[in-house]
Every structure is written in C-alpha cells, then in structure tokens.
A and B are shown apart, each in its own frame.
Chain A
Amino acid sequence: MQVNEYKPLIVAFCCNWCSYAGADLAGNNRLAYPADVKIIRVPCSCRVNPMFILRAFQRGADGVIICGCHPGDCHYTSGNYYTRRRMAALFSMLDYLGIEKERTRVEWVSAAEGAKFAATMNDFAKTVASLGENKRLEDLRCKK
C-alpha cells in the first residue's frame, strides 16, 4: 500500500515586475519545483498585507513566502523597503507567539533569477514539509 505523503500548502506572493517574472523564467527554463507552491500575483511586494498572510495560515496554508525585487531595484523605487520592515516586524512577532519561524520567508528574486526562484521554492517547500502541518496558528486558542 502506498503511504500518503504529506504535501504542504504554500502560498507565494510575487511582485509583478521581478519575482513573478522570475517565476515565469523558471517555467521557461523548465526548472521544476513542487506543485505545492501556489503563486499570487501582486503589483509590488509592498501590496502584501499581513492580513493576507494570516488569512492564508488561517485557511490552512503551511507556509507563506513573499518575493519581491532586490532592495534598490523596486519598480516603484521604495516598495520593497517597506516590505522588508513590515515583514521583519511581523515574522518576529509570529516567532514570538511560538509559530515556527521557518513557515514564513521573504526572498528577493529578480526577473533574471529563474534558477533562484526554483531553488528557493524547492528549499522552502522542503523546510515546510519537514515541519509538518501548520497547527499552531489554527489552534492557539483551543487548549488540547
């Protein structure tokens, strides 16, 4: 009998100008990464509201990754700098609440870095899979 392998659910927010294009490039070059990764396109990484991330976790995502242009290369000049501060603060808070810090990540992927995109997603999916299902964000309230 085949053992049902655990498949994590990963939501990736990608900025339209760099990382989404980087993901496209990974596709163009046929660089495989797990199908567990589902990409949501946003104009800029700074469009990602912490509410989206928490909502994803709430609805059962096991990991959330945010990809944007490298600092200094933002299409909108400064968007990713705000992302950097916001996510540093938010991820630190999630860690403080005892949520595994490996479930969240910010990665800068340029439109030329198809290989980096695929490698990042492979690595992230592996990390999240090793953590198993995301329970903590769901059951913080209800003591077992």
Chain B
Amino acid sequence: MQKITRDQLVSKASELLSNGTVCCVLGWGMGEFDYDVTPTVFNTVEELNNGFVFNDFCGANFSKYLVSKAAKCDGKILVLLKPCDTYSFNQLLTEHRFDREKVYVVGIPCEGMADVSKVKAICGEGILAISSNGDNINVTTLYDENPIVINAADVLAERCVNCKSKKHVAYDELLGDEGEVIESNRFDEVARLEAMSADERFAFWQNELSRCIRCNACRDACPACTCEKCVFDNPNSGVENKSPANSFEEKLFHIIRAYHVAGRCTDCGECSRVCPQNIPLHLLNRKFIKDINEFYGDYQAGEEVGMRAPLVNYTTEDLEPGEVFDRGADNA
C-alpha cells in the first residue's frame, strides 16, 4: 500500500552513495520476522541490495539515530524520513543534538504504517510471512497453509489513523510531494478521557499503567528522549531506578517522562508503537500537547527549527494553574 517501492528507495540511496553525496545510509533492514524491521546503517550499494527492506512495517523514526550516528560518519549520512519523522528531525536540530551539515535527508511519502498487534489481533500468533498486496496484506501463519488476506486500512497504526501531517518540514531532496498538514482527530481520545469523571480516569490509567514492565522501550525509542544520561539512570537525580522498586514508580516514570518531553514532543507516536504492553502512552503526550495548545496557543514542536518551546517561554498574561480546571464543567 506504500506508494513508493523498495526498489525506488534502493536506487536513490545507491545513487547518492555512488556519487559520493553520502558515505552511509540509515535505512530499514530485515529483522527476525517480516514485521520486525530493524534500523540499519548500510555502507555499500551491495549491503543495500542485500539487506534493505521497505514495507508497511517501516514505522521507525530515524531522527533519533542521527544523534549518535551522524557524528560517527566521515561524510554525510543519508536518512530516509517520513513526514512525521521530519518534525522530530527539526526538534532535534532546535536542540542542537546533531550537525545538520552531516545529514542528507531524503523525504519519502508515507501512506501510513501497519500495527503488527492489530494484525495479530486478526490472525493470531505464529506469523511466518507478511507481504503487501495492493490495499491488502497477506499473512501466512504456522496454522494455515493459505495466506490470510486482510485490508491494510484495518491494521493501520493508531498514529497513522490520526496522522497530523503529510508535510515534509525538513528535507534536502524529496521523493514525491512536499505534502500538507492535514486535519486529524488525534485529540478526540484525550477529550473523551477528559470528559470522564476523575474516578473513571483513574480507573482507566490504573488499568493501562499497571501493565508497564519498565522495559524503557518508550524512552529508548522516543526522539525527544535523547539525554546523554536519563534522570532515571542517574543516581544523583533522586528518582533513579531502572526497574520498579515500589508500586508508584511506573507512574512517576511516565509522568516525569511525559513532562520532560512536554513542549518538545512532536507526537510521532514511537512510544506507543514500541510499547510491548500496548499502553497508549501517546495519550499522555497528547494531553500535554492539547493543554499547551489550549493554554498558550497552537504549537507544533518541530514545525520549524529554532522555535522556543512553550514550557521554556511565558507571557505575563498566562492563565493561572488554578484556572486550568475552571475551563468547563465537564472537566470536573
């Protein structure tokens, strides 16, 4: 269902490698399963031809990898960015996390990526192979000789269902159109939670967060979490703990993590994508984004390089913390 094909990407990457524009390529490589695509650095055309993968499971946001990879190359590194990835790219540039000169960005169109957990919900476990077939996805499992055909639209990842922008906000070269910011309903779920009573909200989050196993995948995948040393790994921060010591730790972890990325989170959805427990972590980040939009005016992190994040800014007329709750009776 992706408009762009693997061959187009490989040929573009090979061209840039061969003509010396870049010295390596940050792309998707084959993992253990078809749906298990791994970010990989390709150094030669041959490696590209052998190992490069592009399918409906190439959701990984490469921006974050540039923090460590860009400085390691002698020349430029080629990175393939989907529209939503470019926002993270800009946000990282705003925070001086890598050198723009070391990166060559090829913007690629994205029709939305599939969520393997949704596939598994339909087909069950034991997936042997997955392949795209027009608007459908063919899934072969251990338990069935014939591939199961499912509609790609039915297994679209949540973040793609609620895609906020098809616009590339940063690129050196585009394969396809620049695209446009689109209307989305991404705050609907947050609003639904807000409309609940406090007890209901508590029950909702208790149910969700109780599944957290503190694997730190959300943090490790988040392009806003690029700290040299995370406060949760730092014995002097006072909140250090790599695994939960008591029942409160997960919530503290998720609140602090969401707070630390508030105003910097571009809503790329990596946290929820990588969560092995399927906790809707993006709903925490979106709450901050929605609040910030409502309190201080619309703000999209990463829209441009050099923007001042809302929580490191102020006006003398900002609303008072107490007024936050006076904005509507349904919020009680």
Contact = CB atoms under 8 A, between A and B. Distances in A.
A–B: direct contact at CB < 8 Å: yes
Interface range on chain B (Cβ under 8 Å from partner): 35 or more
B210 A97 contact: no
Given A98-B198, A143-B206, A92 B248 contact: no
Contact of B320 (A54, A88, A94, A143): A88
Given A140-B202, A141-B250, A92 B316 contact: no
A94 B321 CA distance: 12
B195 to A, nearest CB: 11
Contacts, number: 141
A92 B204 contact: no
B27 interface: no
Given A58-B248, A93-B258, A106-B321, A98 B288 contact: no
A51 B231 contact: yes
Contacts of A91: 321, 324
Interface in B196-232: 198-207, 209-210, 212, 231
Interface stretch (B18-26, B134-142, B290-298): B290-298
Nearest to A104: B321
A82 interface: yes
Contact of B314 (A58, A81, A92, A96): A81
Contacts of B255: 50, 54, 90, 93-94, 97
B287 A96 contact: yes
Interface string B237-278: 111000010111111100110110010000000000000000
B198 A95 contact: yes
A93 B285 CA distance: 10
A75 interface: no
A142 B212 CA distance: 11
Main secondary structure of the interface of B (DSSP, over half): helix
Contacts of B201: 95-98
Contacts of A141: 206, 209-210, 212, 244, 247-251
Complex A-B, nearest 9 residue pairs according to Cβ-Cβ distance, in ascending order = A98-B202, A81-B314, A98-B201, A106-B321, A88-B321, A87-B321, A140-B251, A58-B248, A141-B247
Interface of B: 190, 193-194, 198-207, 209-210, 212, 231, 237-239, 244, 246-252, 255-256, 258-259, 262, 284, 287-288, 291-292, 295-296, 310-316, 318-325, 331
Given A82-B311, A100-B198, 18 more contacts: A51-B231, A51-B239, A54-B239, A58-B252, A72-B316, A81-B314, A84-B318, A85-B295, A88-B318, A88-B323, A89-B288, A91-B321, A92-B291, A93-B259, A95-B201, A97-B201, A140-B251, A143-B210
